[in-house]
A and B are shown apart, each in its own frame.
Chain A
Amino acid sequence: MIRFDAVSKHYPDGTRAVDDLSFEAPTGQITVLVGPSGCGKTTSLRMINRMIKPTGGRIWIDDQDTAQMDEAQLRRGIGYVIQHAGLFPHRTIVANIATVPMLLGWDKHKAEARALELLERVGLPPSFAKRYPAQLSGGQQQRVGVARALAADPPVMLMDEPFSAVDPVVREQLQDEFLRLQGDLGKTIVFVTHDIEEAIKLGDQVAVLRGGGNLAQLSDPAHLLAHPVDDFVADFVGRDRGYRALSFQESPQFPLAPEPSVPLGAAPAQAAAAARDGWVLVTDEARRPLGWIEPARIMAPIRPEMLQRGGTVATAGGPLRNALDAALSSPSRRGVIVDDQGALLGTVRAYEVLAEIEGRARPELDQADVEGSGLQPAAEPPG
């Protein structure tokens, strides 16, 4: 557990980077600090490992006051990941990962063995061990950055926009793998981002900061989307929050319509016979959906490049958002639902998903009414 107790950072010129900030980052959870640039989120993060010294208040890790600890010892016990990874360009990947174990005085072989284990853990091949950072892509470097932070198995990790500098596809992969890793490791993580989408995806709880390091709201993502405490937070969480909130609601067992499908290479006549409303789904041997096709428009057996791939697929029992998106994005208007292996189960229509949403009580509303939004910080004066 990391606890901010009335922490401030005022600079001599009068700038207040962080002002009287108090909150708790619970053990084994991801706490995301999010806010516009200049809101003091990075300053707050760096005060935890004392890269920046607070001018007021205290920061506790479990029951230890960080100000009383030896700085180097404190930092060796905290994993740290930054944008662009900040790897040491002159050291091989394995040496980079082994940095903290070596600083802690581990035996060299033990440190290297640990580094190789982590290399695998973050999904990189052992052949990367002897390469230098410049030989890796941005996404790969970022994985090494995560491995390096984990090397000495610290209970606490600080992450400063670790995934912002990579392209969107890689970012999403890294986020998913990060969540999977955290599921196994259960570190106490403080994560800084300016991207509310990322905050909501990764955070067990999200702290929205406004200029000058003021905590505007601290709550779990679903509650944050449903109940922004004021206009600032409402603006910051953005327009699509009703839609995004569906990410936190599981789909029920929809009454799936059976969907006929044809394989690649099927003749136009075969496809036409199977089509409903002019569209037919094409699947591979394992019945995984590949794309939609309009048999009326094809003259030859189905080839991959003929497929309409615009439709997303949703996993049965996954978030309602995915089911709705599958229906909305499907060229046939039939949303494809698959099982855990990705094999076709059937289709669902947008109105069926909407009916489910309409019919649902909004549990987060009840929670707010009963608890009086107990997760929020001391009430801000309105306006």
Chain B
Amino acid sequence: MTWFREHFADVLSLAGQHAYLAGVPLVLGLLIALPLGWVACRYRALYPFLIIGTGLLYTIPSLALFIMLPLLLPTKILDPRNVVVAMTIYSVALLVRTVADGLGSVPDAVNQSATAMGYKRVRRFTSVELPLAVPVISAGLRVAAVSNVSIVSVATLIGVSQLGSLFTDGFSRAFLDPIIVGVVACVLLALLFDLAILGVTRLATPWQRAGKASA
């Protein structure tokens, strides 16, 4: 605990960095997954290809991806943007299926009546399909958020600092305190992400609670 008190400011800044490296890709990943998921849901023949294709991305070992990206991108090896891109790829891998299934969960009668009311395609997507897919997408986002928080720590190995740096630090000095603090901080951060997503979801879906209250 003494170590933690002395290094509180460092831990906080590492946590901030960690949150950035895990959080920004989550948002970017969602933005990319939305159109892909829509295509997978709309054109059923493409569904297996898109889902399996993007799903496979998740199986690329993170360390390999961190190291390979600077070769493919005009970035230097120590550039944190490599991590952002890699994490975005993982987020997309997890979210495409979620978005496709979320859009697929919208009742057919609702889509039919939206079309029959005279909604055009884009507006139907933004004002009917997407809001109704929020509960399913939110569940997928929570998984992706936790996964991101966990994977980001590997980035220490390519010299991008975040909470994972505490693990290598503790390991190299055979000193347990930073490792424990790092693990606890990661868990808290994941919890924070989870709460934030839950909170936004609640705000976006007042109709869900109304439905349950009467049922």
Contacts and interface: CB of A to CB of B under 8 A. Distances in A.
Interface stretch (A112-120, A129-137, A320-328): A129-137
24 contacts: A51-B116, A72-B119, A75-B115, A75-B116, A76-B117, A80-B113, A82-B116, A87-B113, A88-B110, A88-B113, A88-B132, A89-B107, A89-B110, A90-B131, A90-B205, A99-B117, A103-B118, A132-B210, A133-B207, A134-B207, A134-B210, A134-B211, A134-B215, A135-B210
Contacts of B128: 88, 90
Contacts of A90: 128, 131-132, 205, 207
Given A73-B118, A103-B119, A51 B112 contact: yes
Contacts of B126: none
Given A82-B109, A89-B211, A134-B215, A72 B120 contact: yes
A86 B155 CA distance: 49
Given A76-B117, A88-B128, A90-B131, A135 B213 contact: yes
B116 A88 contact: no
B114 interface: yes
A49 interface: yes
Contact of B109 (A74, A86, A103, A158): A86
A198 to B, nearest CB: 20
Interface in B191-211: 205-207, 210-211
A74 B214 CA distance: 37
Interface of A: 49, 51, 72-76, 78, 80, 82-91, 99-100, 103, 131-135, 148, 158
Contact of A86 (B110, B132, B205, B211): B110
A78 to B, nearest CB: 8
Interface of B: 107, 109-110, 112-120, 128, 131-132, 205-207, 210-211, 213-215
Contact of A100 (B109, B117, B132, B211): B117
Nearest to A158: B116
A47 B21 CA distance: 52
Contacts of A87: 110, 113
A78 B132 CA distance: 25
A87 B115 CA distance: 12
A100 B107 CA distance: 20
Given A80-B116, A88-B113, 5 more contacts: A72-B120, A83-B109, A90-B128, A131-B210, A132-B207
Nearest to B108: A86
Given A72-B120, A75-B117, A76-B117, A86 B112 contact: yes
Contacts of B215: 134
B131 to A, nearest CB: 5
Contacts of A100: 117-118
Contacts of A135: 210-211, 213-214
B214 A134 contact: yes
Given A72-B118, A73-B118, A103-B118, A91 B207 contact: yes
Contacts of A73: 118
A271 B11 CA distance: 93
Nearest to B109: A86
Nearest to B120: A72
Give the 3 A-B residue pairs with the shortest CB-CB distance, closest first. Answer: A134-B211, A86-B113, A76-B118
Contacts of A131: 210
B213 to A, nearest CB: 7
Contacts of B113: 80, 82, 85-88
Contacts of B210: 131-132, 134-135
Contacts of A89: 107, 110, 132, 207, 211
A82 B107 CA distance: 13
